[in-house]
A and B are shown apart, each in its own frame.
Chain A
Amino acid sequence: MSLGTAGRRTQARSGGYYWDKTTLEQRRRTRLQTLERENYNSQPDFDSLPIIAQGESTTKRPGRPRSDYSLPKANTSTIVVGTADEGLKRVNRKETRQLAAQRRTFADILAKEMEDSAKNHQHQSETNTFHYLTCITAPTLGTQPAAASRSFCSICGYRGLYTCIDCGMRYCSLVCKSAHADTRCLKHVG
């Protein structure tokens, strides 16, 4: 297939750009983000459920401990830790509760860490500092070029030798190609 044909196909069917590098790069990034998450779908109502210690007051007014308050069985408004007979094996300080209430993302903490270490190393004469970001494994080894990225057939998983002209997904044989075109092709989606 000549380059000219591929260029025309990019805009043809559903109007979407499936082949250009930016789109493929975006697809790669979104896919990686999805794979790195702990859960596929987020449940913000559960993530923000407060976790309180047994006997801790849920109201903001001081001086009202609720140690004999029995929470209903199917309680969905808080998560309670610590048992009534054993009690809590820790102090449950105010500072701890403040620390526990912090909702900082990994990106925030990483940024602050880089800031802090830059400040610390300003005073020292170290030229080489090693931290979380310096130890990433490069995809190449010295002067060797990076191995070519490989693809797999999106239907069966064998080597993805051919590419769908409409959506850019891979297939390995005519059998998989027809399976792809029937239901899986992204042209149906977008």
Chain B
Amino acid sequence: MPTLILDNGSYSIKGGYATDDCPRLIPNAITRTKRTKRVYVGDLIDTSTDISGLYYRSPFERGFLTRWDCELAVWDRVFSNDVLKCTPTSTDLIVSEPMFNFGQIQRSVDEIVFEEYKFASLVRTPATRLAAIGAGHTIYGDDGGEPECVLVVDIGHSFAYVVPYFQGRQISEGVRRVDVGGRMLTSYLKETVSFRYWDMMDEAYIMNAVKEKCCFVSSDFYRDLDAARGCIGGRNGKNSLGLEYVLPDFTNSKCGYIKGQGGEAEQQMTDTDAQVLPLCNERFAIPEALFNPVDVGLEQGGIHQAVVQAVMACNERLRGVLMANILLVGGTAALPGLQQRLQSEVQAMSPYRVRISVPEDPITGAWQGGRMLAQGQTVPEGATYSPATVAEWQLTRAQYQELGPDRAVAHFTKFI
């Protein structure tokens, strides 16, 4: 029976079978264009050429699945013959959820999976747990499965979680959250750019592309801020930190491009007064919010403080091992320079040697772990501990009907 692994994120669903090498990414929202008022479910937005003023109707609120009408629509699209071609009744499902997911939401997920789609079996677990299973491959380079001790830093769309794992179990007193994620960074960039240059408050799609292409994490913020001074307008050549981003006009390019790196779209551009966004200190000042949430008005510590607090909350004997086995996953973790900066910030506050590992594609980190779980590669050779195997972990439909919704939720709590 094929196993479907669904990393159900608030920005995108990473979905694929255990036999696939990498998952398909489907935006987890229903979108509507401004001008033409056309509605697109999930990845159908890629077929549209006009994405200005794109409005998102998301099933998630603050990182939790609260609106099932949207989620059912997106899942219908994901399981359809155009995308994953899934037959739920003969498929095993591994689905991810946020950390400390609410009981009501857990019950509704179980109900939809078993009573509505009628999947054969279910494993419902936090996304960080799946990432921890894949950590052995990233940290040690082998297919040895889950390390005995790992600290997962998952920086996603809604928030960033730091979760310590020991022998396959999370250390709940050591879990820490920072409410800064990809969405916050995109909003911060929109706000800054709208105040300084052009009004982009309705252009989340475009500003997200700008953030992914132009932003990076500086290793010394104040040094770069001084270097970028006087770079208003970021004219190329005057200052290596500045660049100009050509905004899309929807005939030549869909998302726009960086001047000088546009390729085909740039060559075809004849319009000399295209709208240009000059970016300089915004490129590295925006991601600073991850380390200083006070910049966006949030009274919380940064992700480096979250890591240190998480480790200090754990047993003294585990601290050194946790610091040496930090795994960084999630969409926002793909920002260039983040790993080095987090490494230096945490090392400055830690008496232990800090080592941070990032998989080649941080977006699919949790999904790859789910795939290893499905293939049974969870325990390294010669290990003295044994985290749960899929067979113990999964809940079959028959068991769900026997246990009922409340005890079904308790079944998964056993493995946390």
Interface residue ranges, A against B (CB under 8 Å): 28-29, 31-32, 34-41, 43, 46-47, 49-51, 53, 74, 76, 79, 81-83, 86, 88-93, 95-96, 99-106, 109-110, 112-113, 116-117, 128, 130-132, 135-142, 147, 149-150, 152, 154-159
Interface residues in B55-71 (C-beta closer than 8 Å to A): 55-58, 61-62, 64, 66-70
Q: Residues of B within 8 Å of A, CB-based: how many?
A: 87
Interface residues in B103-140 (C-beta closer than 8 Å to A): 103-105, 108, 111-112, 115-118
What residues of B have a CB within 8 angstroms of the CB of A53 in the complex? Answer: 76
**Minimum C-beta distance from A130 to chain B (A):** 4
B37 at the interface (CB under 8 A from A): yes
B373 at the interface (CB under 8 A from A): no
Pairwise interchain contact A46-B102, C-beta atoms closer than 8 A: no
Jot down 21 A-B pairs with beta carbons below 8 A, ordered by A: A31-B296, A31-B297, A35-B184, A35-B191, A37-B187, A38-B183, A40-B190, A51-B69, A51-B73, A74-B37, A81-B76, A81-B77, A91-B115, A93-B115, A106-B62, A112-B104, A116-B103, A140-B301, A147-B292, A158-B225, A158-B281
Pairwise interchain contact B309-A141, C-beta atoms closer than 8 A: yes
Pairwise interchain contact A29-B297, C-beta atoms closer than 8 A: yes
Pairwise interchain contact B116-A91, C-beta atoms closer than 8 A: yes
Taken residue by residue from 333 to 368, chain B's Cβ proximity to chain A (1 for < 8 Å, 0 otherwise) reads as: 000000000000000010000000000000000000
In the bound complex, what is the Cα–Cα distance between A47 and B116 (angstroms)?
A: 24
**Minimum C-beta distance from A29 to chain B (A):** 7
Q: With A35-B191, A100-B68 known to touch, is A90 a contact of B88 (CB < 8 Å)? A: yes
**Minimum C-beta distance from B58 to chain A (A):** 5
B17 at the interface (CB under 8 A from A): no
Q: With A34-B191, A104-B66 known to touch, is A41 a contact of B196 (CB < 8 Å)? A: no
Pairwise interchain contact A40-B202, C-beta atoms closer than 8 A: yes
Pairwise interchain contact B297-A32, C-beta atoms closer than 8 A: yes
Pairwise interchain contact B229-A88, C-beta atoms closer than 8 A: no
Pairwise interchain contact A139-B301, C-beta atoms closer than 8 A: yes
Q: With A34-B191, A104-B66, A152-B285 known to touch, is A51 a contact of B72 (CB < 8 Å)? A: yes
What residues of B have a CB within 8 angstroms of the CB of A104 in the complex? Answer: 66
The CB with the most chain A CB atoms within 10 A, among B100, B102, B300, is that of B102
What residues of A have a CB within 8 angstroms of the CB of B303 in the complex? Answer: 137
The segment from B142-150, B173-181, B250-258, B314-322 that touches chain A is: B173-181
Pairwise interchain contact B69-A113, C-beta atoms closer than 8 A: no
In the bound complex, what is the Cα–Cα distance between A159 and B188 (angstroms)?
A: 17
**Minimum C-beta distance from B115 to chain A (A):** 7
Pairwise interchain contact B103-A113, C-beta atoms closer than 8 A: yes
B306 at the interface (CB under 8 A from A): yes
**Minimum C-beta distance from A51 to chain B (A):** 5
Interface residue ranges, B against A (CB under 8 Å): 30, 32, 37, 39, 41, 55-58, 61-62, 64, 66-70, 72-73, 76-77, 79-81, 86-88, 99-100, 102-105, 108, 111-112, 115-118, 161-162, 172-173, 175-179, 183-184, 187-188, 190-192, 195-196, 201-202, 204, 225, 228-229, 232, 280-282, 285, 292-303, 305-306, 308-309, 312, 349
Pairwise interchain contact A141-B66, C-beta atoms closer than 8 A: no
Pairwise interchain contact B201-A40, C-beta atoms closer than 8 A: yes
In the bound complex, what is the Cα–Cα distance between A150 and B288 (angstroms)?
A: 12
Pairwise interchain contact B177-A137, C-beta atoms closer than 8 A: yes
The CB with the most chain B CB atoms within 10 A, among A32, A37, A159, is that of A32
What residues of A have a CB within 8 angstroms of the CB of B306 in the complex? Answer: 137
- A150 touches which one: B70, B188, B295 (CB < 8 A)? B295
What residues of A have a CB within 8 angstroms of the CB of B312 in the complex? Answer: 142
Pairwise interchain contact B73-A81, C-beta atoms closer than 8 A: yes
Q: With A46-B57, A135-B100, A136-B300 known to touch, is A157 a contact of B177 (CB < 8 Å)? A: no
Pairwise interchain contact B305-A137, C-beta atoms closer than 8 A: yes
What residues of A have a CB within 8 angstroms of the CB of B58 in the complex? Answer: 38
In the bound complex, what is the Cα–Cα distance between A183 and B24 (angstroms)?
A: 47
| Complex: chain A residue closest to B163, CB-CB | A135
What residues of B have a CB within 8 angstroms of the CB of A37 in the complex? Answer: 187
What residues of B have a CB within 8 angstroms of the CB of A158 in the complex? Answer: 225, 228-229, 281
In the bound complex, what is the Cα–Cα distance between A160 and B118 (angstroms)?
A: 58
| Complex: chain A residue closest to B285, CB-CB | A157
| Complex: chain A residue closest to B81, CB-CB | A86
Pairwise interchain contact A89-B88, C-beta atoms closer than 8 A: yes
What residues of B have a CB within 8 angstroms of the CB of A140 in the complex? Answer: 301
- B76 touches which one: A49, A90, A93, A103 (CB < 8 A)? A90
**Minimum C-beta distance from A150 to chain B (A):** 7
- B349 touches which one: A32, A113, A130, A141 (CB < 8 A)? A141
| Complex: chain B residue closest to A42, CB-CB | B55
